[in-house]
Structure 1
């Protein structure tokens, strides 16, 4: 599950406008807009949600929590 709140936070961390994020994720702009409209589970197909999640995770961002505690943050890099 991915929430609209997580997508908004992740997109902000990535520094991308909605249209650029949608392009990167390979989904129509309207899908990202629709997904971001809710703080809860986004009302998009499972395939679209997976595409969005993969894009976020590929950018080094992790999604955490559930419900009101859900969010997005930069993934901590392990010490070298």
Structure 2
């Protein structure tokens, strides 16, 4: 059965604090440097990383964080306890 396409609001909300921490660790960045790259205040990033579950921050901030992770070559996958981060596979020709 094909997977349903989620509205952008749902996709933006599905990022977890655990995924953000994992992505930041894979990038080798301190929180302040990643916050700068994502264009969000350090306090917002800290709040977003405080839980393993869904980020307790505004949707526009979640989108900024997600874009920074994806721009660094990573992708977010799964949901719930299966959520994680991995390096995006290089396209094959």
TM-score by structure 1 length? 0.96
- Aligned partners of 2:64 and 2:92: how far apart in 1? 29
* Counterpart selection for 1:66 from 61, 79, 88: 79
> Which residue matches 1:13?
26
- Contiguous gaps of at least 5 residues in structure 1: none
> How many pairs are equivalent?
80
| Alignment match, 2:61 | 48
Could you list the runs of 4 or more consecutive aligned residues of structure 1 that deviate by over 3 angstroms after TM superposition?
Answer: none
One of 14, 33, 46 as aligned partner of 1:33? 46
Please, what TM-score do these two structures have when normalized by structure 2?
0.83
| 1: CA distance, partners of 2:26 / 2:87 | 8
Name which one, 1 or 2, has greater alpha-carbon Rg.
2
Distance in 2 between the 1:14 and 1:31 partners? 19
1:22 match: 35
1:15-61: CA deviation from partner (whole Å, max 9, x where unpaired): 10000000000100011110001000010000000000000000000
Superposed CA RMSD in Å reads 0.7
